[in-house]
Every structure is written in structure tokens, then in C-alpha cells.
Amino acid sequence: MMIQTHHHPSSTKGLSSLTTLLTTPTTSLLIDPPFLLPDALSTLSWISSLTPHPPSAIFLTHHHPDHFFSANPILSAFPNAKLYAAPYVLARINNEYDQKIKYWNEVLEDGLVPEVPRRPEPYPWSFFVLGGEKVGEEGEKGEGEEVVVLLGPVQGDCVDQTIFWIPGERTVVAGDVVFGRSGHVWVEELDSPALLEAWLKTLDMIEQLHPVKIIPGHMEAGWELDAEADLAHTRRYLQLFGEKVTYADKKLGVQELYEFFRDAFPQCRENLDFFLGHMANRFGEGGTVWEENRHQEVGEKRPEELSGYWLGGSGGMNGRIH
């Protein structure tokens, strides 16, 4: 197996986002740097403990700040590394960049995020080739490379995400398309049935890859990866959200909605105010909407815009709500 994948959780204050490192015998590559600067410094130590090879590039799965804001110190430590995102991800970053910098620098303590986070360059290809060292049957060494495929744009906890498929390791770096079973799922931006159904179809697509390893976008430290369990956790969360919010006959109150999801997922104990508080206020009766997160006009997107890659029928129907 040429490419190996490693993951590193951010602090609970950094929302427990996961950074992924791809390594080969001769190179490395990073996916999703952390939100907070202290977590970026921890990530630098972690990289050094795993490989002597500096990352050749840093990729982003999507535009949320907790997956790229503190790339700055990592890029300073590895000045030859490029910071990349798919063009559709970069478009989303640019659309909200000024507002998100202003908001997070106002609400967080000084020194937790850069004043000017680095923006990625557009990455125009749908794959990359990561070099390595191949050992032949007789033990002779030669050059070997492996392909990593960028699949997107797909729907996750926001529109226009990229997942990374590593066929040689049968691994999916899922970003915020899959959430680890230790935490609540960010559903605050599911403004329409089309967005919810598109996310479920993304999960169906991942299942069709038959991965043996899925690295989710968030997981608390100390929890082990479990591709089947984490995929099932995300699907169940979305199905309950559909029942209680998207397709519900009656709008629940803020506290009622908060308590329902808290009690439905008792193992998820961290960042409740962020994940559940924002969700319950966004969709609960009489809630206070997080207006700073309403800059993206996505609620009018049609199903064919979100999951038009399903051809020849209605697409995957595993776990459809309606």
C-alpha cells in the first residue's frame, strides 16, 4: 500500500475538526488545516512526528472556516507547499471571506485565528498523482505513484464540497459530508428539502465506493474511526432532522428541538451550544437566526444542481426520507 492516511483532531474549542495527512515513502500532502492557531501549531508537531517530508500541497474540502482559517503557520513552516481548493470551493470562500474574518475576529479571543487567513489557489483538475517509491517482486526499487480523485461538487453540511477518494487504500477523506459518531452533525444550513436529499445521496455515493476507511470532518479525540458506524450516524441524524424539521407538520420550539437531538445522541457531549444551539434557533419556533451565516443563497437550488451526477433514474434511494 503506497499511500498511508493519518488524521489529527483539533481541540474541542476548535470544534474537533480533523486534519488528514497523506504520506508516501517520499512525500506528503495535507487536507483541511485547523480553525484555530493553537491547533495549527499542534498539527505542525504531529506532521513532523509522522514524516520527514514536508507537504507538497494543502487541500481544502470546503469553505467553512474551521477547515482552513489557520493554514497560515503551516504554510510558513512549509513555504514550498501550495494551498489548493477546487474552483467551486474557492468561489464559496471568496463569497463570504470578508464577513467571516470580521465575525470570527470579533467573537474569538485575540490570537486564536489569523487576522488575514490565506486564501487557496484554484485547483482545476479532478485528481492528483502523489509520488512514492515502489518495491518490485524481486525487491528492486523504482518510482511509483498513486492517484487521488477529487469528487465534487457534492452536498454535505454545506453546498459545493469535495471528497477525496484514495482507491489504493480504499479510503474516503470525507470532510463535512460525514461526521464522526462522537459529535452532533452541523445541519444549520439545510434550508430546503433538496439540500437534505442531496446530502443523503452523497452518502449513497460514498457507499457505492465500498470504502474500508472513512475520515470524517469532525471527531472527538480518543474515538476510533469506523466507516460503517460513522456513515450510519450521519445518515440517522439527517433522517431525524428530516422527520423533526424538514418534513414536520408542526414547528417545534427552540428548547424542544435542542433537547430532542441532545437526548437522541447522548454520546455527543461537546459543543452543544454551537451545533444544537444554532440549529434549534435556526429552525425552532421563535428562535434567533445566526444572520452572519446566512450569506449563501442556497435554499433555492434545484435537485439537479445539487446531485445531477445521478444519471438514468432517481439515484440512490438508501435512506430516503420521502
Return mean pLDDT, the chain: 92
Dihedral in degrees, nearest 10, Cα atoms 101, 15, 48, 105:
20
Distances (CA, A) of 246 to 15, 87, 183, 250: 25, 30, 21, 10
How many alpha carbons lie under 13 Å from residue 103 in its C-beta half-sphere?
13
Query: What's the domain count of the chain?
Result: 1
- Single out the residue of 91, 77, 84 nearest to residue 31, CA to CA: 84
User: Among 4-13, 152-161, 302-311, whose mean pLDDT is lowest?
Assistant: 302-311
Dihedral in degrees, nearest 10, Cα atoms 290, 252, 13, 15:
-90
Higher pLDDT, 293 or 173: 173
Rounded CA separation 124/132 (Å): 23
The CATH number that applies at residue 1 is 3.60.15.10
- Single out the residue of 311, 264, 261, 306 nearest to residue 284, CA to CA: 261
Q: Kindly report, residue by residue over 172-195, the tens digit of the pLDDT.
A: 999 999 999 999 999 999 999 999
Paired with 145 in beta bridges are 131
pLDDT confidence of residue 133: 56
C-alpha grid cell, residue 52 = 520527514
C-alpha grid cell, residue 101 = 474574518
Is the pLDDT assigned to residue 224 strictly greater than 60?
yes
pLDDT confidence of residue 131: 83
C-alpha grid cell, residue 105 = 475576529
Range of the domain at 278: 1-134+142-309+318-322
* Geometric angle at alpha carbon 249, from 243 and 252, rounded to 5°: 75
Rounded CA separation 95/5 (Å): 31
Banded model confidence at residue 135, pLDDT cuts 50, 70, 90: very low
Higher pLDDT, 140 or 111: 111
Rounded CA separation 180/315 (Å): 25
Q: Kindly report, residue by residue over 120-132, the tens digit of the pLDDT.
A: 999 999 999 998 6
Residues 74, 43 contacting (CB under 8 angstroms): yes
Query: Within a 10 A sphere around the Cβ of 142, how many other Cβ atoms?
Result: 8
Dihedral in degrees, nearest 10, Cα atoms 37, 29, 212, 197:
60
pLDDT confidence of residue 293: 80
Residues 213, 173 contacting (CB under 8 angstroms): no
Is the pLDDT assigned to residue 280 strictly greater than 50?
yes
Banded model confidence at residue 317, pLDDT cuts 50, 70, 90: very low
Mean pLDDT to the nearest integer, 148-159: 97
pLDDT confidence of residue 271: 97
pTM score of the predicted model = 0.93
